[in-house]
Structure 1
Amino acid sequence: MEAVAKLRNYPTSPRKMRLLADLIRGMQVEKALAVLEHNPKHPAVPMRKLVLSAISNWKQKNEGGDEGQLFVKTIFVDGARTLKRMRPAPQGRGYRVRKRSNHVTVIVDAKA
């Protein structure tokens, strides 16, 4: 039985978060946690917490299950709200700065 965890409105661009999601997709959970712990990218910390949350959710659903067989079944990153800000530009103009955010969904499951 699979378990889901979601991270909503995290303030970094979806492209940066997808680079991490692509690293751990399909991995064993222990290996994915090790990869995220030693990754220098700043979204690795909340992604690691999200995987730990998915593991915890799986434990609550499957009380007698073996968590050694868990793997990241599905992980995807969607774009969320974009904050639009103005930056001063030459000759009285303003450049638009888009501050992006994203939603991450992780699904973990045990191998059959």
Structure 2
Amino acid sequence: MGARKRKSAEARKEALKTTYFAQLKNVPTSPRKMRYVADMIRGMECDRALGVLRFSQKEAASRLEKLLRSAIANWEAKNERKAEEGELYISRIMVDGGMMLKRLRPAPQGRGYRIRKRSNHVTLFVDSVNKNETNI
């Protein structure tokens, strides 16, 4: 490995030490439906977002609730302490399209209609409120 590659790899590793996130891959629901729920909680405090997800009627909300709990646990593991109420917030949440299963459905007059069974990948970043505040 060259010196330039080594430096960039070390910089990436250092950045990951201060980044707290959780990923959910190949969720068998369309990205559009998942983005609807992700938009509801984007930028919220974690405790409030857990309440919103808990009482949401959407099927994707239960999956995001579990993912958010995992991201909070990752933050607690890296900082070696419990998160206080109102300390964490969702800094970023991304929903990307995953793999697509393609099927054919019989249609009239010998035709075939395509069925696309979509999936998605969700990445949720958590950050502490105190870290981003600047004292003037």
Establish whether TM, by shorter chain, passes 0.5: yes
Aligned residues: CA RMSD: 1.1
What is the CA–CA distance in structure 1 between the aligned matches of 2:128 and 2:33, rounded to whole Å? 28
Q: C-alpha offsets along residues 2-29 of structure 1, whole Å, 9 cap, x if unaligned? A: 3110000001000000001111010000
| Letter of the 1:95 counterpart | Y
Partner of 2:11: none
TM-score (norm: length of structure 2):
0.79
**Structure 1 position 103 matched with structure 2 position 93:** no
Query: What is the number of equivalent residue pairs in this alignment?
Result: 112
**Structure 1 position 18 matched with structure 2 position 35:** yes
Structure with more contact order per residue of length (Cα contacts < 8 Å, sep ≥ 6): 1
Structure 1 residues 74 and 13 mapped into 2: Cα distance closer, same or farther (>3 Å)? same
What is the CA–CA distance in structure 1 between the aligned matches of 2:79 and 2:55, rounded to whole Å? 29
TM alignment of 1:30-69, pairs within 5 A: 30-64=47-81, 66-68=83-85, 69=87
Provide the secondary structure at the position in 2 that maps to 1:36: helix
Bigger share in strand? 1
1:67 is displaced (CA, Å) by 3.4
Structure number with greater Rg is 2
Percent of aligned pairs with the same amino acid: 55
Structure 1 segments, 4+ long, off by >3 Å, are: 64-67
8 Å Cα contact 1:3-1:58 kept in structure 2 = yes
TM-score (norm: length of structure 1):
0.96
Gaps of 5+ in 2: 1-17, 131-136
Partner of 1:79: 97
Q: C-alpha offsets along residues 35-69 of structure 1, whole Å, 9 cap, x if unaligned? A: 00110011111110000000000000011364320
Bigger share in helix? 2
Gaps of 5+ in 1: none
